[in-house]
Chains A and B, each alone.
Chain A
Amino acid sequence: GAGVSQSPSNKVTEKGKDVELRCDPISGHTALYWYRQSLGQGLEFLIYFQGNSAPDKSGLPSDRFSAERTGGSVSTLTIQRTQQEDSAVYLCASSALAGGYTGELFFGEGSRLTVL
């Protein structure tokens, strides 16, 4: 597709279950970001992938959170043993580091996670 695709768009899970959120970035974009947005809050940085470099995981809130990016394209964010405070919208963005770069992040529509 033309834009960043995220799935599922909505996920309701029970406390203690594991969830996987998927992001399919724009083709050719080497940079991929995960952010979390809680109700009425700003975007909280989680993790950043750039090409084949080691990811910047400095924003992951606990070791229950992990992410991988396979083949420099699709990324999966995994949350283990979910807690109610994990409820939020998880946004993925991609970006192309090219000449005349404006730093424009292209966001997906997000995955809304609700932990009961």
Chain B
Amino acid sequence: SQKIEQNSEALNIQEGKTATLTCNYTNYSPAYLQWYRQDPGRGPVFLLLIRENEKEKRKERLKVTFDTTLKQSLFHITASQPADSATYLCALTYNFNKFYFGSGTKLNVKP
């Protein structure tokens, strides 16, 4: 089955810097890759979707890249703010029937 790896160590950065989170997968490339944000005690909230034929997707301060050769997605938050502190999950799906989630990376943005 698909194995998804996200850095289990928390990422600590200073406010205003760019945060970069990594998502690696092992099996054949999915058709779609998503990123979600999860706050403590809450359900995940959808942020972005990128398709296998797209190299990059942007939304406001967020940017996602998808490299099917490296089997990797990078998630960037530019001009980070303390309010961006949360756990970020990547999810893969081939047909929207089943979504495979990583364990998430916790981001701490310090003022």
B96 touching A95, Cβ below 8 Å: yes
Closest-by-CB residue of B relative to A50 is B97
Q: In terms of DSSP, what is the predominant structure of the interface of chain B? A: strand
Is A102 part of the binding interface, using a Cβ–Cβ cutoff of 8 Å?
Answer: yes
A43 touching B44, Cβ below 8 Å: yes
Which residues of chain A are within 8 angstroms of B100 by Cβ–Cβ distance?
A: 45
Question: Which residues of B line the A interface, CB within 8 A?
Answer: 4, 6, 8, 32, 34, 36, 41-46, 49, 89, 91, 93, 96-104
17 pairs of residues in contact across A and B, judged by CB atoms under 8 Å:
A35-B101, A40-B103, A42-B4, A42-B101, A43-B44, A45-B99, A45-B100, A48-B97, A56-B97, A56-B98, A58-B98, A103-B49, A103-B93, A103-B96, A105-B36, A106-B46, A110-B42
Which residues of chain B are within 8 angstroms of A97 by Cβ–Cβ distance?
A: 96
List A residues 14-34 near B (Cβ within 8 Å). 31, 33
Query: How far apart sit A98 and B93, CA to CA, in the bound complex (Å)?
Result: 17
Which residues of chain B are within 8 angstroms of A106 by Cβ–Cβ distance?
A: 46
Question: Which residues of A line the B interface, CB within 8 A?
Answer: 4, 31, 33, 35, 40-43, 45, 48, 50, 56, 58-59, 91, 93, 95, 97, 101-110
Which residues of chain B are within 8 angstroms of A40 by Cβ–Cβ distance?
A: 8, 103
